[in-house]
Amino acid sequence: MTSGKINVTVENIFPLIKKFLYSDHEIFLRELVSNATDATLKLKHLCSIGETNVEFGNPKIEVRIDKENKKLHIIDQGLGMTADEVEKYINQVAFSGAEEFLEKYKDSAKDSGIIGHFGLGFYSAFMVADKVEIITKSYKDEPAVHWTCDGSPEFTLEKADKTDRGTEIILNIAEDSLEFLEEYKINELLTKYNKFMPVPIKFGTKTEGEGDDKVEVDNIINNPNPAWTKQPSELTDEDYKKFYHELYPMQFEEPLFNIHLNVDYPFNLTGILYFPKLSADLQLQKDKIQLYQNQVFVTDNVEGIVPEFLTMLKGVIDSPDIPLNVSRSYLQADGNVKKISNYITRKVADKLKSLFNENREDFEQKWNDIKMVLEYGMLSEPKFYEKAGSFVLYPTTDDKFYTLEELKEALKDKQTDKDGKLVVLYTSNKEAQHSYIEQAKAKGYEVVLLDSPIVSHLIQKLEMDNENLTFARVDADFIDNLIKKDDNTISKLSEEEQTKLKETLENIVPKQTYTIQTEALDSNAAPFMITQPEFMRRMKEMQAAGGGN
């Protein structure tokens, strides 16, 4: 047996651990299960590159409560540690073995999924335990060891008789942390942080089957292959919906559509975003986008990472390239994070565009549920605004849906003001303005329904960016003052052509008897008009009757 002093820079780190991470005590389990996962994935990697001949098998991680002895066990079948490695990786606090491993196997281990540090790592165990033990046996042919530390910088290390490969961490739960011996609590934490981790995690057993076929099976709490880790081509619409409910078990509404994110350069990011039904969202606002790193849950506060207008969406984002444990303002200044945010914006815009192009009718039907997010995006993200023109819709009170360009085209000949600007008549309240809407419709005008709370800002922006466009709330004044092109009179001929035409015509018809009009005609009508003034007509009639003298 050996004993010694843990090599720490601060004389006694444990009171500090407790104090500074008080609010985050529960993350100890995430850290320990992450280490167990890493140990398993490291072994898998060593097997796959032929560094060892040991049988990898189907390793799992087990979390077990021993309430009687006030102990919590985390057991893995990973690569284990030799005595030297315990000395090196455990006793040298703040020495991240994951970093060293990745450094050593830099090129081959890139895609191994190893998690590494979130922060405190292994020592976060002391937030809830007053004594921590490690019993571990390396995959190398060396004796097992038992390390014990009671929270002071002193530790002991002795031989152990463990025969199977892997590591068992035993937490002797402190009096003030007894809740971590409760099944419901551990279940809650495993479900929160570890639900999609890549190695199966067993927590107790459950019965399956009916009657005589009843069997006790491992209760595996995680899905090691969540949808977002797969290729979009492997997944059906059904798979995406299924995953939505896996992510939010309390959500019964179906999502409207999903956006699969998948990029590995210049940063690494996968994920699936869902557009929820607006109505459902109001009830379950707490279903938020979840941020993961290598399938470990980190947070559901994605502010600063996802553009603000998209925080109303649901789903997951998984990226090892988002710095953790840094302030939000740091996050916003980080170049990588900015790129990630822009990528997400672009992906969402592209998806909306393709949905619109592929099935416009369906898109129109979903419009009411998605318009808030999109209109907010147009106002807050210039990059989104640039793309929005091709799919943002302006529905009329008659349920026609125009894009902005289509709307301009529809108004061109019938709804302009005296300056020639196109006038978009709109209403924010169909019922309250019913009679005006009817009046406008009777005159053949289009009335657009704009009823989301940020509409006045949107209108301002659209007017600013479209010089020939103005918005007017539908009312009697506006209806009466609009100019229809049918009343307006513009010839297709130039002034010069009109003069020539007039001269030619005057040579044919006597201008004393007829009026020749070439300048004030509807553009769709004949290029000229010959009329006979009323008094001339009467005079001619009188002459024909022989009465004139």
Q: Is 166 annotated as a binding residue?
A: no
Question: What is the C-alpha separation between 167 and 37, in angstroms, rounded?
Answer: 11
Shortest distance (Å) from residue 120 CB to Mg ion:
9
From Mg ion, ligand ADP, none, interface partner of 167 (C-beta below 5 to 8 A by class): ligand ADP
Q: Which residue's CB is nearer to ligand ADP, number 45 or number 387? A: 45
Q: Which is nearer to ligand ADP, 33 or 374 (CB)?
A: 33
Residue 264, classified by CB atoms within 10 Å of its CB into exposed (0-12), middle (13-18) or buried (19+), is: exposed
Q: How many residues does the chain have?
A: 549
328: annotated binding-site residue? yes
Residues 15-44 that bind Mg ion (CB under 5 A): 35
Tokens matching residue 508: 């044919």
In DSSP terms, which residues pair with 294 in a beta bridge?
none
Instruction: Look at residue 215 and give its three-state secondary structure.
Output: strand
The answer on whether 97 is annotated among ligand-binding residues is yes
415 touching Mg ion, by CB under 5 A: no
Residues engaged in binding ligand ADP (CB under 6 A): 31, 35-36, 38-39, 76, 78-81, 89-90, 96-98, 116-117, 121-122, 167
Beta carbon nearer to ligand ADP, 127 or 310? 127
- Find all residues with CB under 8 Å of 231, minimum gap 6, and list them: 262
Q: How wide is the angle at C-alpha 411 spanned by C-alphas 409 and 414, nearest 5°?
A: 130
The answer to the question of whether 429 is labelled as a binding residue is no
> Is the Cα dihedral 86, 88, 93, 97 positive or negative?
negative
Phi, psi dihedral angles at 346 (to 5 degrees):
-65, -45
Q: Both tokens of residue 98?
A: 């994951």
81 known member of a binding site: yes
Nearest residue to Mg ion, scored by beta-carbon proximity: 121
- Name which of Mg ion, ligand ADP, none residue 59 binds, using a CB cut-off of 5 to 8 Å depending on partner kind: none
Nearer to Mg ion, 101 or 391 (CB): 101
Q: Which does 78 bind (CB under 5 to 8 A by kind): Mg ion, ligand ADP, none?
A: ligand ADP
For Mg ion, the closer of residues 72 and 447 by Cβ is 72
3-state helix, strand, coil in the chain (%, to 5): 40, 20, 40
Picking from 324, 461, 471, the residue whose alpha carbon sits closest to that of residue 389 is 461
Residue 121 as a binder of Mg ion (CB under 5 A): the answer is yes
| Residue with the two structure tokens 């009009």 | 517
| Residue 276 site contact among ligand ADP, Mg ion, none (CB < 5 to 8 Å, cut-off depends on kind) | none
Is 336 among the annotated ligand-binding positions? Answer: no
Residues annotated within the binding site are 31, 35, 76, 81, 96-97, 167, 328
Under the rule (CB under 5 A), what is the footprint of Mg ion?
A: 35, 121
Residues annotated within the binding site for ATP are 31, 35, 76, 81, 96-97, 167, 328
